Amino acid sequence: MNRLATSWVLTAAFALGACNQNSAPGNDKEAKLDPALAPAQKMGAAEALSGIATGAIQPETMSDADVASLGGLAGKCTIRLTAVGFPSFLYDESQRTGVIKLNGKLIPLASVDEGVFRDGDLKVTLRAVDKDFGDDGRREAEMIIMLPQAEDELGFRGYEVCPRT
């Protein structure tokens, strides 16, 4: 093998060596090696989204620490972007409150109408795609996010999971 080919193979091997490293919440990690994540900071929408380009904002998944800091899942519904993923939006119908994780912050929202939550100029609307919940306790749903000063809304389809009554 010539020097150029050997150099290319070594470069590719080093580049691919770190491909199995993923620190996103919910990925398997060894508890003995990795400390538990601290919950994200809670703050209002205006402060959490200040100075951020609206095109760069996407809903984020909440870690176990985030959910625990919000009082856990008992009695609350969640919107999950994948069938088995962690929640990106959590709401309590009886308290008429919701929380979304954007820009690494947990943003509390007040329910202003059925399926509509707001904090200032940030608005989240939830719409059921399926009429009924399946045997697994979830149904398809849409989460529409209108960010402050954004021209367009952001739409996401995922799963709504609610406690069985």
- Facing residues of 90 across strands? 78, 99
Residue range 1-52, pLDDT digits in tens: 566 555 665 565 555 555 555 555 555 555 556 666 799 999 999 999 988 8
Cite the DSSP H helix spans in 84-159. Answer: none
Averaged pLDDT of the chain: 84
Q: CA 42, CA 99: separation in Å to the nearest integer?
A: 9
- Of residues 165 and 97, the one with the higher pLDDT is 97
Q: What is the pLDDT of residue 55?
A: 77
Tokens of 72: 């856990």
Classify residue 152 as exposed, middle or buried by CB count within 10 Å of its CB (0-12, 13-18, 19+): exposed
What number of CA atoms fall less than 13 Å from residue 146's CA on the CB side? Answer: 11
Q: Phi/psi class of residue 116: alpha, beta or left (left: φ > 0; alpha: ψ in -120 to 50)?
A: beta
Q: Write down the domain spans for the chain.
A: 45-161
Contact 109, 117 (CB under 8 A): yes
CB atoms within 10 A of CB 3: 7
* pTM assigned to the model: 0.77
Q: What is the pLDDT of residue 36?
A: 67
**For residue 104, which of 64, 65, 60 has the smallest C-alpha distance?**
60
Residue range 66-119, pLDDT digits in tens: 999 999 999 999 999 998 889 999 999 888 999 999 999 999 999 999 999 999
Tokens of 1: 């093998």
Report residue 133's pLDDT band, with 50, 70 and 90 as the boundaries.
confident
